[in-house]
Amino acid sequence: MSTSDAATELGRLLAIMARLRDPQGGCPWDLEQDFSSIAPYTIEEAYEVADAIDRGDLDDLCDELGDLLLQVVFHAQMAQEQGAFAFADVARSINDKMVRRHPHIFADASAGDAAEVLRNWDAIKREERAAKGETDASALAGISRGLPEWQRAMKLQSRAAKVGFDWPGPLPVLDKAAEELQELREEFERGDVAANKLRLQEELGDLLFVCANLARHADLDLGAALRGANHKFERRFRAMEARAGEHGTRLAELGLDAQEALWQHAKAAESAS
């Protein structure tokens, strides 16, 4: 597809969105929406893009990227209606930012490798925040509180590591995870879970934070790891349901021991295949 074709299709999408939001004859559902009501859909579509990538399904990726683009257009249309900004302003903002943050491409700076590109990127971001009058000079400045918490944990840890506050490798992090797991166990052993929820939540948070650190040290995508675990669980659970159905029963009618046997059968079947 040529650049002109892309511009034509984008213009068509903008026109469709404007029509849907037209107070005179627009879509009732679209007209009821605002930034807050659409935000969860925006997040969901971003995750569906990631899921298509995980599955290696490029046809689905094309479709999901379209859904994500619609979210951008939807937000821009609502902002335009309020006189705040329009889609062209969104595009101009990211264009200017990409040029500004790649001086080794669009100016006379140099960057020998990807690591240097990232260092320059971070330095330029700090300059941009300072130019906006932001006074937070912390190494942790600028990390969005709107991120999924697992992602924010990894960003906090990565920023701290850049000033030397970090474990020397993954094995000490594993030791720390074992320590946090033991502390969580001790809280459960106190007995009254309902009365101890705040402490349990704190200890669980500590354990999850260390797990995020472990993923960072191993250069693993924590979100992809959790998605993989979810997919695995769903796949095996559905296999359990199917196996139970083959024997003329429903999973809910079986005791835990029988369900565990079906789980082990599902695992063995996966290994065999």
- DSSP string over 202-237: HHHHHHHHHHHHHHHHTT--HHHHHHHHHHHHHHHH
* Lowest mean pLDDT segment, chosen from 33-37, 190-194, 237-241: 190-194
Q: For 49-69, what is each residue's pLDDT tens digit?
A: 988 998 899 999 999 999 999
pLDDT attached to residue 152:
92
Mean pLDDT along residues 105-123: 88
Q: Judge whether 53 and 37 are in contact, CB under 8 Å.
A: no
* Lowest mean pLDDT segment, chosen from 77-91, 94-108, 131-145, 235-249: 131-145
* Lowest mean pLDDT segment, chosen from 36-40, 104-108, 190-194, 228-232: 190-194
Which value, to the nearest 10 degrees, does the dihedral of the CA atoms of residues 41, 43, 46, 51 take? -90
Cα separation, 217 vs 167, whole angstroms: 9
Cα separation, 91 vs 107, whole angstroms: 21
pLDDT attached to residue 1:
67
Locate all alpha helices (DSSP H) within the chain, ordered by sequence: 3-20, 28-32, 35-55, 58-81, 87-100, 103-106, 114-131, 149-162, 170-189, 197-217, 222-246, 256-272
pLDDT-derived band at 85 (thresholds 50, 70, 90) equals: very high
Write out the H or E segment, with its range, that includes residue 21.
none
DSSP character at residue 195: G
pLDDT attached to residue 196:
85
Average pLDDT, the chain: 92
pLDDT attached to residue 230:
92
pLDDT over 70, % of the chain: 100
Q: For 131-173, what is each residue's pLDDT tens digit?
A: 888 888 788 888 888 888 888 999 999 999 988 999 999 999 9
How crowded is the C-beta side of 71, counted as CA atoms within 13 Å?
19
* Lowest mean pLDDT segment, chosen from 46-50, 146-150, 239-243: 146-150
Which is higher by pLDDT, 224 or 33? 33
Return all residues near 54 (Cβ < 8 A) that are at least 6 apart. Answer: 224, 227, 228, 231
pLDDT attached to residue 132:
86
pLDDT attached to residue 259:
95
Cα separation, 259 vs 241, whole angstroms: 9
